[in-house]
């Protein structure tokens, strides 16, 4: 039997942790700040865990509070999405896609207009679905980087995740070989610390260590590279459009497999649903289309 503890307290805690104050949470939930504080205090008593450090002018989640909120927010987001889907008119066709923020910005959004032209009646809804987020019950599908081993889900490969350094043409002009790289100029991604060592080993400069600014997501590091801050480790397909447009160049011919692939992930029953079937056909075709050919075709149009 599912045991749910004090849902009002859980909602109050999640809103306070996300917004950073009892007052903001109270405004969102249409109750007073004092009521939110009481509900969170009761939740802490029931859980036997301190969720917030109460500072003079702000709330600071404890380690337990941060972990709890990081799991709760996607659940409430999914619940809101599911409720909207269930209460939508029968004529509305809804497709909910769980996708990480960088894949969304660097690949999916630039191509969604093409899908909308083909399927204008489908209501496309995007929800955050990186590797650390569980597959949502209300998702039509997700796009994940991994090994494809996802019990209970179908995982169809979309792209190989190959690594190659990228930078502006100006910076590339001073890079003739891998040995010209300097540690402080190599931009890092916090959740992928093995990317640079993997590539540098293959390039036969294993003693070089990346010591440049560190970013949370690939997209941030790639934007920093576009702005000339340094050299980012590019991962396909994130870099395809930037390379095709000349915003970035790959100064070396060496491309190294990351050891993972991108997958379209879904539950098997979704294949019977026409909206998902239409998206599946479209994304498989789009994934097989090189970025340069797509850019040329748009230019010709």
Number of domains in the chain: 3
Of 22, 46, 80, the position where a domain reaches its end is: 80
Q: What is the pLDDT of residue 232?
A: 97
Same-domain pairing of 66 and 139: no
Instruction: Indicate whether 76 and 88 sit together in one domain.
Output: no
Q: Do 109 and 150 sit in the same domain of this protein? A: yes
CA dist 298 and 292 (Å) reads 10
Asked if residue 241 and residue 186 are part of one domain, the reply reads: yes
User: Is it the case that residue 190 has pLDDT exceeding 60?
Assistant: yes
3-state class percentages of the chain: helix first, strand second, coil last, to nearest 5 = 45, 20, 35
- Is 33 inside any structural domain? yes
CA 75 to mean position of chain CA atoms: 16
- String of b and e for 99-111 (b: at least 16 CB within 10 Å)? bbbbbbbbbbeeb
154 in the same domain as 164: no
Asked whether residue 1 is domain-assigned, the answer is no
Q: How many CB atoms lie within 10 A of CB 4?
A: 6
User: Which pLDDT score, from 0 to 100, does residue 37 have?
Assistant: 92
- Asked if the model's pLDDT at residue 41 lies above 70, the reply is yes
Domain co-membership, 65 together with 117: no
- Cα-atom radius of gyration of the chain, to the nearest Å? 23
Residue range 242-254: mean pLDDT, rounded: 93
pLDDT range class, residue 299, cuts 50, 70, 90: very low
Distance between CA atoms of residues 111 and 118, nearest Å: 12
Q: Average of pLDDT values for 94-119?
A: 91
Banded pLDDT at 148 (limits 50, 70, 90): confident
**Closest Cα partner for 96 from 79, 117, 113, 114?**
79
Give the contacts of 166 (CB within 8 A, at least 6 positions apart).
222, 225, 231, 232, 233, 234, 239, 242, 243, 248, 249, 250, 251
Asked if 137 and 285 sit in the same domain, the reply is yes
Residue 173 shares a structural domain with residue 254: yes
Judge if the upstream peptide bond of residue 237 is cis by omega within 30 degrees of 0: yes
What letter would DSSP give residue 61?
E
pTM of model > 0.85: no
Q: Quick one: average pLDDT of 265-288?
A: 90
pLDDT at 263 over 90: yes
Per-residue pLDDT at 111: 93
Terminal C-alpha separation, the chain: 59
Query: Please, which pLDDT band fits residue 288 given cuts at 50, 70 and 90?
Result: confident
Same domain, 150 and 280: yes
**pLDDT at position 292:** 43
Q: Specify the range with the lowest mean pLDDT, choosing from 76-90, 227-241, 254-268, 277-291.
A: 76-90
CATH number of the structural domain spanning residue 184: 3.40.190.10
Task: Report the SS3 class of residue 271.
Answer: helix
Residues 171 and 234 occupy one common structural domain = yes
Confidence bin at 294 (pLDDT 50/70/90): very low
- In this structure, what CATH number is given to the domain that contains residue 25? 1.10.10.10
Q: What would the pLDDT profile of 153-186 be if each residue is shown by its tens digit? A: 899 999 999 999 999 999 999 999 999 999 999 9
Domain end, chosen from 59, 80, 101, is at 80
Residue 2 lies in a domain: no
Distance CA 191, CA 174 (A): 29
pLDDT for 87? 65
Residues 120 and 164 in one domain: no
44 and 179 belong to one structural domain: no
pLDDT (average), residues 121-131: 80
Determine, yes or no, domain membership for 128: yes
Domain boundary at 80, 103, 129, which?
80
Give the range of the structural domain holding residue 152, as residue numbers without chain letter: 83-158+261-300
The answer to whether residue 177 sits within a structural domain is: yes
């Amino acid at each position: 039997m599912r045991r749910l503890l004090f849902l009002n307290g859980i909602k109050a805690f999640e809103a306070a942790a996300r917004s950073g104050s009892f007052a903001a949470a109270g405004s969102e939930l249409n109750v007073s700040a004092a009521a939110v504080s009481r509900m969170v205090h009761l939740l802490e008593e029931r859980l036997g865990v301190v969720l917030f450090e109460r500072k003079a002018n702000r709330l600071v989640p404890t380690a337990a509070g941060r972990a709890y909120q990081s799991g709760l927010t996607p659940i409430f987001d999914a619940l809101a999405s599911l409720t909207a889907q269930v209460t939508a008119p029968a004529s509305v066709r809804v497709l909910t896609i769980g996708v990480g923020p960088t894949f969304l910005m660097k690949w999916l959004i630039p191509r969604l207009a093409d899908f909308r032209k083909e399927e204008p009646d489908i209501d496309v809804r995007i929800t955050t679905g990186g590797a650390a987020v569980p597959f949502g019950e209300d998702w039509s599908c997700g796009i994940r980087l991994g090994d494809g081993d996802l019990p209970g889900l179908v995982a169809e490969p979309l792209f190989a995740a190959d690594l190659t350094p990228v930078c502006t043409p100006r910076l590339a002009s001073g890079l003739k070989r891998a040995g010209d790289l300097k540690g402080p100029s190599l931009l890092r991604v916090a959740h992928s610390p093995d990317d640079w060592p993997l590539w540098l080993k293959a390039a036969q400069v294993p003693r070089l260590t990346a010591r440049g600014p560190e970013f949370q997501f690939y997209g941030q590091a790639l934007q920093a590279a576009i702005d000339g801050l340094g050299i980012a480790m590019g991962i396909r397909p994130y870099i395809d459009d930037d390379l095709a447009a000349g915003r970035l160049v790959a100064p070396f011919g060496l491309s190294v497999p990351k050891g993972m692939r991108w997958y379209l992930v879904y539950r098997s029953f979704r294949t019977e649903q026409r909206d998902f079937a239409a998206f599946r056909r479209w994304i498989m075709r789009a994934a097989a289309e090189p970025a340069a050919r797509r850019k040329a075709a748009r230019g010709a149009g």
